Structure 1
């Protein structure tokens, strides 16, 4: 039983270390684009399409007031726009503008390129195994 506990601690430690590395990569890849890591994350999330503030707050794990400030700054830079919510006329959604879309694609490409660099030595089998395991873990989150 102690072996399982040690393996569990090892897995938890590896996942925590992964989180820190990914946060560092966001910082490293967003700075040259003139973005904070949080702004880059927001723009990349919006690549999937417009989202409401409540959804964005949940996805980004930030308070709504902090999100509002971030959206305000990005809106002043013409990277995002507030648009009417098609199902609730009292609410709005956040969408990428054309310059925002271009910058979001640049941020996503820079981030995924760094991940590709870090995982370049993994065999195709190891890549599939890692991808399957992470998908399984995070589909429950």
Structure 2
């Protein structure tokens, strides 16, 4: 049986809240869950994320595949680093840093450091003022 850790939507229209659940991958989004391991309330300010770390580690250890949304929540709570074994540097929040799209695009287009750099182009001189008669 292939299990997934995913979100189960609850709440009214435009006021959602979610439960983090372990389900068989073939069940419906709001179908019967094997186990509920947490909650996520995105509309609160700040958002409330409560996940049972021990149960999440257990299910990840036995092969349950988390969805992208659940991976993002686990990264924000710090449980994802515990599972993957990578440690964040001291004094760094476990919340992911959002990179600017322009920075990523420019970094992809940047030349490697080994390549010779061309001389910068000179700015064109402004045209001379015309004599008005």
**Quick check: TM above 0.5?**
no
Which structure's CA Rg is the greater one?
2
Greater relative CO (CA pairs within 8 A, separation 6+): 1
TM-score with structure 2 setting the length: 0.25
Higher share of residues assigned helix: 1
TM-score with structure 1 setting the length: 0.23
